[in-house]
Structure 1
Amino acid sequence: MNMRVFLWGFMGSGKTFLGKALANALQIPFYDLDAEIEAATGKTIATLFAEKGESCFRALETDTLHTFQYKPTFILACGGGTPCHADNASWMKQQGITVWLNPPVEVLVRRLLPEKQHRPLLAQVPDAQLETVIREKLAQRTLYYSQAHLIIQEEHIDIPAFKNQLLLMARSYTASNPHP
């Protein structure tokens, strides 16, 4: 059975960590959209933002995302803004199963504080304002994220249970969308 899973969520929500664990449990390929962009361009996401700006980065991100229409089975950790631009949320929903990882804001702050210098949208944010900025950005993105087929709000996710849930969803999705 083919399975295409797109993981959405804010920075620090666990998309890459969970994606790797799920891919391993399901024995299917895992990809990280940011890593795919970095490999294709030879530049870091932070460098692309600095050199080209967010709008050029988002166009490149969408182009890279659309290359996944040719892959039959995968788990893809999307960038935090991926579903919010260029009608990407709708496109991904047509291509496979979309999952919004939505842990509490306090968890995001705890995870992002030590690594915010590597996050272009947070690098200049003072530590004391990080929670406020995360809440504001989440408020802007919730409209898109909430369109996901599945929303998971837990900080710690039971991988075997989540695997089984995805398998059931994939069977249902494949039956209703035989030619994504």
Structure 2
Amino acid sequence: MYAYFFLSTIKKLQQVIAPSVFYFSFLYDMNIILVGYMGSGKTTLGKKLASRLGLTFVDTDKRIEQNEGMTIPEIFSRCGETHFRALEKKLVAELREEENLLVSTGGGMPCFNELMKDLNEIGTTIYLKRPAKELAERVFNSKKKRPLTDGKSKEELISFIEDTLKNREQFYGQAHIIADREIQNITSLEMMVKAYWREVKGD
């Protein structure tokens, strides 16, 4: 069952009494998984939300780099994208054995090897949805090296991201919660997650 939360629901959600961090991490025993395009804020928001809910933060790209002893650009350069996607699939299988995580996924992870289906089974998925122009601005100004976008001008980035999103939306859109940019702040995300968990648990 997919739950879609938009700005109009926030006032109602604000009436929800927020239990303690311990209560939620103990009672619900669930993972949260953030999906979305590069530059959508998965890492920044993920770390803050993990702290609020008492979850362990995991960045899938960082975990792969630690496992392989190479950076993501190095993996792409030496081994190719197909190998990198295989590493993502392997990591998702590993995450099935872990609990109480907040996972920030790589932008392409949900879109290959049917991994969006797997991610939905592992935890509560949240799609951080942002417009292409905003994503392009964030990626262009970022100091982080990104194999798929490095060397592109801002105009080229906008076109590239628009084209890529047309394909990826069908995967991102399968998330349990879709958070438009207007409600992408920690308080709103926390309330949405708690409300969704209550709905799933029937509380």
TM-score norm. by structure 1 comes to 0.91
- 1:173 to 1:91, Cα distance in 2 relative to 1, 3 A: farther
1:130, 1:88 → 2: CA distance? 25
SS at match of 2:184: coil
Task: For 1:3, give the aligned amino acid.
Answer: M
1:178 corresponds to: none
Question: Equivalent of 2:140, from 98, 108, 113?
Answer: 113
TM-score norm. by structure 2 comes to 0.81
1:128, 1:117 → 2: CA distance? 19
Structure 1's unaligned 5+ residue stretches are 176-180
Question: Equivalent of 1:130, from 157, 164, 175?
Answer: 157
Task: For 2:105, give the aligned amino acid.
Answer: C
| CA distances 1:43-92 after superposition (whole Å, capped 9, x unpaired) | 00010001111001000111012211111211100000100111101111
1:150 corresponds to: 177
Question: Equivalent of 1:103, from 120, 130, 134?
Answer: 130
What's the C-alpha RMSD, in Å, of the aligned pairs? 1.6
2:4 corresponds to: none
Task: For 2:90, give the aligned amino acid.
Answer: D
Task: For 1:12, give the aligned amino acid.
Answer: G
| CA distances 1:109-134 after superposition (whole Å, capped 9, x unpaired) | 11111237701000132333110001
Greater CA deviation, 104-113 or 76-85?
104-113
Q: In percent, how many aligned pairs have the same letter?
A: 33
Task: For 1:148, give the aligned amino acid.
Answer: A
1:115, 1:41 → 2: CA distance? 24
2:117 corresponds to: 90
1:79, 1:135 → 2: CA distance? 18
Aligned residues: 175
Question: Equivalent of 1:14, from 18, 38, 41?
Answer: 41
2:192 corresponds to: 165
Structure 2's unaligned 5+ residue stretches are 1-27
1:141 corresponds to: 168
1:36-115 aligned at under 5 Å gives the runs 36-115=63-142
1:58, 1:42 → 2: CA distance? 16
Structure 1 residue ranges (4+ consecutive) displaced by more than 4 angstroms after TM superposition? none
Task: For 1:7, give the aligned amino acid.
Answer: L
